[in-house]
Amino acid sequence: MKKFFYFRDATNEDADLSAAVSATVPVENITGMAPTATTTLSVFFKSLKNETLNEHVELTITLGKIKEVMAELVQAMNGGPHSDGFIVVADNVTTTDGASSIQGNDQTVDAKYLSGNITGVSLVTY
């Protein structure tokens, strides 16, 4: 099974407009994880456009939980063999968009995070 990590950095679906906002990435393309601040964990993956620099997402995490979140991400990659392979790591959306969309327009939904230690996400895609 091919597993994919999903990240979305928008609080309203109407802002979900580009790869700078949301991306679904094969876990096999993840090239490493490292902190960039005490509460920021960067997850690097191969360049979306095959350019010279890889892209990364920055997860906002609880202070002191860098190693734990890394371990949780690896567990998610390797766990749930009977899942559909789509793993939401961080989705900041709390407001839906589109009257004919599956979730309807301007409905309030919960943001979704893989771990209680993840509290937000921003994408650094080029």
Partner 1 sequence: MEVKKFLYFATQADEANLDGPDDAVALPADNLVSIAPTANNRVEMVFKSMADNAPLAANDSVVLETVVGDAFEVANALVRVINGHPHSDGFVTIADDTTVQDPGDATIAAVYAHPSITGVNAINVTKTAPESADAYYPVNMHPGVVATAQPSGGATLEVNSHYNFSTGSALAYNIPSAAAGRAGDWISILYTARINNAAAHSFTTTTDTKYRDGSIIRVTPGSSARTGFVDVSTTGDNVLTITGLDDGDGGIGTRLMFRNMTGEANGWAVECVVEGEDDNSAATADTLFS
- Contacting residues toward partner 1, per CB under 8 A: 1, 27-28, 30-38, 42, 44, 46-47, 49-54, 56, 63-64, 66-67, 70-71, 74-75, 77-79, 81, 126
> What's the min distance (Å) between Cβ of 90 and partner 1?
17
Buried b (16+ CB within 10 A) or exposed e, 60-74: bbeeebbeebbebbe
> What's the min distance (Å) between Cβ of 1 and partner 1?
6
Between 74 and 109, CB nearer to partner 1: 74
> What's the min distance (Å) between Cβ of 51 and partner 1?
4
DSSP element (H, E) containing 69: helix 66-78
In terms of residues, how long is the chain? 126
Q: Which residues pair with 34 in a beta bridge?
A: 42
